[in-house]
């Protein structure tokens, strides 16, 4: 019987090789010694891993070829950064890297359509804000504006954010001399389709190594989809502190999942 042939980016997926763990480690050692051929074999030998990941994004309406290419970038980053001294399988390290690369691509290329009702709320909120500034000589909070409009404050936040001009996800918005806070640090991720799968692969092992406050921040940020500002409000510290603790926690987790 002839095997089914499926081509992605000109690659016949039915003929993709599969590397055993021993072969992987041998090729990684050779690559670290400067053998570029070994790196190419590592990429080709793990393309099936990319295929398995992009299946999780089939419902996003993106071209499979585009997702495959982006996934391959994540795979190559995984290969270049994998630490052989850590007792962990390559796939455990690579899958979150591939997913992260695809998620960044989807976020950067997702068109934002602002509904008329959302724009109306935003313009009413701006008018209320200007009036409150004149009356109180200070910038009103979203809660204060929402109270005047008699709507939930979340709607005010969403509406005002929706009419802002697009900016780069990597544009710094705060820097106190330490690590900057970028726009992407303010974003929630409400796409939970593959969240459980990612959490089990990438986060649970590292979470056990964190203290209670770090665990709380990581869970709220990546399990519950909270922004840094929301986390700061909930646990009673500044957003800058949340950012520092989050980065330190991720760095600590990476030591145990790489």
Identical fold for domains 7-108 and 116-165, yes or no, is no
Closest CA to 217 of 191, 179, 196, 244: 244
Backbone φ and ψ for 11, nearest 5 degrees, come out as: -100, 125
CATH number of 116-165: 1.10.10.10
Other CB atoms within 10 A of residue 99 CB = 21
Identify the architecture of domain 7-108 in CATH. Answer: Up-down Bundle (1.20)
pLDDT digits (tens, 9 = 90+) for 87-103: 778 888 888 888 888 88
Q: Give bridge partners of residue 146 from the DSSP assignment.
A: none
Right CATH number for 185-257 from 1.10.10.10, 1.10.30.50, 3.90.420.10, 3.30.70.580?
Answer: 1.10.10.10
pLDDT at 62: 73
| pLDDT one digit per residue (tens) for the chain, 258 residues | 334 444 555 566 667 777 887 888 899 889 988 888 998 898 888 888 888 888 887 766 677 888 888 989 999 998 888 888 877 788 888 888 888 888 878 766 655 555 677 778 888 888 898 888 888 888 888 889 999 999 888 888 878 776 665 555 555 655 555 566 665 565 555 554 444 555 555 556 677 778 888 888 888 887 788 888 888 888 888 888 888 898 888 888 777 555
Q: What's the CA gap between 208 and 125, in Å, rounded?
A: 44
Instruction: Delimit the domains of the chain by residue range.
Output: 7-108, 116-165, 185-257
pLDDT at 157: 84
Q: Give bridge partners of residue 172 from the DSSP assignment.
A: 182
* 134 DSSP 8-state letter: H
Q: What's the CA gap between 68 and 51, in Å, rounded?
A: 7
Tokens coding 111: 């068109």
pLDDT at 136: 86
pLDDT at 1: 33
DSSP E strands in 147-194: the ranges are 172-174, 181-182
pLDDT at 85: 83
Tokens coding 107: 């976020």
């Amino acid at each position: 019987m002839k095997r089914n042939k499926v081509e992605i980016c000109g690659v016949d997926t039915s003929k993709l090789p599969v590397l055993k763990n021993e072969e992987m480690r041998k090729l990684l050692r050779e690559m670290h010694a400067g053998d570029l051929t070994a790196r190419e074999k590592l990429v080709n030998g793990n393309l099936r891993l990319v295929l398995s990941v992009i299946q999780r994004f089939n419902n996003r309406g993106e071209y499979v070829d585009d997702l495959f290419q982006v996934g391959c970038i994540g795979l190559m980053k995984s290969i270049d950064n994998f630490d052989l001294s850590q007792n962990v399988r390559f796939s455990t390290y690579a899958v979150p890297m591939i997913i992260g690369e695809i998620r960044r691509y989807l976020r950067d290329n997702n068109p934002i359509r602002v509904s008329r009702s959302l724009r109306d709320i935003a313009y009413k909120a701006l008018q209320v804000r200007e009036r409150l500034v004149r009356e109180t000589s200070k910038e009103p909070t979203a809660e204060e504006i929402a109270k005047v409009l008699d709507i939930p404050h979340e709607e005010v936040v969403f509406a005002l954010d929706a009419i802002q001009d697009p900016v780069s996800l990597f544009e710094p918005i705060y820097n106190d001399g330490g690590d900057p806070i970028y726009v992407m640090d303010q974003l929630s991720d409400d796409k939970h389709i593959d969240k459980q799968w990612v959490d089990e692969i990438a986060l649970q092992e590292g979470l056990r190594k964190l203290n209670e406050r770090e665990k709380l921040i990581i869970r709220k940020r990546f399990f519950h989809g909270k922004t840094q500002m929301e986390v700061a409000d909930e646990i009673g510290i500044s957003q800058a502190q949340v950012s520092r603790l989050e980065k330190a926690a991720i760095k600590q987790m990476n030591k145990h999942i790489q």
